[in-house]
Structures are given as structure tokens and as C-alpha cells.
Amino acid sequence: MIQIRFIRADGTEQTIQTPPGQSLMKAAVDADVKGIDADCGGSLTCATCHVMIDAPWAGQLSPAIPDECDMLDFAASPVEPGSRLSCQIQLTPALDGLVVRLPASQY
């Protein structure tokens, strides 16, 4: 199991324990993390799984593919340097302790 800490725009936090080998979006939805809607279920067509991953964690993620970058243009909240779509982030044991910031809104 790995630990992931979610920080909402209002400052409230939620920490979950989840197995690696799945997407960050799936782990968040399964743990009922409020603030990740994931309307398309991970097919990269909605941008409602927008999250922000800051340094040093951002450097440990696989780079965003062009389709992810294109879909981020449709995110409801402003895109930041650490913005990613959580359905495109695969959780590995190396991401134990990951800190994820959530945008103010996904719509």
C-alpha cells in the first residue's frame, strides 16, 4: 500500500492508503475523495480529474502525453505548471507519500 495526501483548495485534507498499479484517479474515486469527478472514467475525454502535482513529486511522474496536454485546455480551473489529469498518472511504489492538490472546481 502507498499513502497519498490530497489537499483541497479550501485547505482541508484527506489521506488515503491504496495499492499501486492503478491510476491516481481510480484510487481517489474508490476512496471517495471529493474534488475528483472523473466523468469519463479515465478515457481522457473530460478533464474533470484535474489535479496539481508539485515538486519534488512532479519530477517522478511520466511526462504528460500530447492528448493529456490537449485535454487540460478544457479544465474548469486554471492550469498550473504542475497540472495533470489524474487518470493518466499510474501509481507506483515510488509514489508513496505523494501530495496532490485539488483545484477549486472541476466544472
Strands (E) across 40-97 are located at 50-52, 83-85
Question: How far apart are the C-alpha atoms of 39 and 56, rounded to whole Å?
Answer: 29
CB-side exposure of 80: number of CA atoms within 13 Å?
Answer: 15
| Residue (16 or 72) nearer to ligand FES, CB | 72
| Residue (2 or 24) nearer to ligand FES, CB | 24
| Residue (57 or 68) nearer to ligand FES, CB | 68
List of residues contacting ligand FES (CB under 6 A) = 25, 38-40, 42, 44-49, 71, 85, 87
Nearest distance from residue 71's CB to ligand FES, in Å? 6
Question: How far apart are the C-alpha atoms of 75 and 98, rounded to whole Å?
Answer: 22
Residue with the closest Cβ to ligand FES? 87
